[in-house]
């Protein structure tokens, strides 16, 4: 998927405000929508695919009835010296920011949420559907 360069400024601003190593915007199915300037394209694609899996698992976990059927709000992965923070940024779209482990997580959450609240309605990704021309039983629209 090609970059949506209209959003690069947003990710650059977020990376600057949070002193992030990188910031990416990705779809629920793992496709990279955009990345902050200076982020290696291949790494950004690999990270977006992995983050989509983590966000999908977190969304599934949040929906467990025993947990009250909550809504997924954020996921945090701790690594040696770094933290990856992920959250929804619009319909079928997520943002991930990788920062130094010493960052103030409250400040990070605030800055990411500020950006999401500001432009989140513009960040959605349409659900992709594949339609077969064969209308025999068992065939038709996939993904509904």
Provide the H-helix boundaries in the chain: 8-18, 41-62, 105-119
List own/partner pairs for 113-120 with CB under 8 A and 24 or more apart: 113/87, 115/10, 115/13, 115/14, 115/89, 116/87, 116/88, 116/89, 116/90, 119/10, 120/89, 120/90
- Return the pLDDT at 118: 72
- Return the pLDDT at 11: 92
Is 14 in a helix, a strand, or coil? helix
4: pLDDT strictly greater than 80: no
Range scoring the smallest mean pLDDT among 45-59, 76-90, 109-123, 129-143: 129-143
Range scoring the smallest mean pLDDT among 8-17, 81-90, 112-121: 112-121
At the fourth CATH level, the homologous superfamily of domain 5-142 is Dynein light chain 2a, cytoplasmic (3.30.450.30)
Q: Where are the domains of the chain?
A: 5-142
């Amino acid at each position: 998927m090609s970059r949506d360069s209209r959003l690069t400024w947003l990710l650059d601003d977020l990376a600057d405000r949070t002193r992030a190593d990188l910031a990416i915007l990705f779809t629920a199915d793992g496709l990279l929508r955009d990345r902050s300037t200076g982020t290696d394209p291949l790494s950004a694609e690999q990270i977006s695919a992995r983050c989509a899996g983590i966000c999908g698992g977190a969304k599934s976990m949040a929906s467990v009835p025993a947990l009250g059927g909550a809504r997924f709000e954020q996921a945090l992965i701790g690594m040696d010296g770094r933290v990856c923070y992920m959250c929804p940024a619009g319909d079928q779209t997520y943002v991930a920011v990788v920062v130094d482990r010493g960052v103030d997580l409250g400040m990070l959450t605030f800055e990411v949420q500020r950006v999401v609240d500001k432009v989140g309605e513009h960040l959605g990704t349409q659900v992709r559907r594949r339609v077969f021309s064969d209308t025999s039983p068992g065939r038709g629209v996939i993904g509904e």
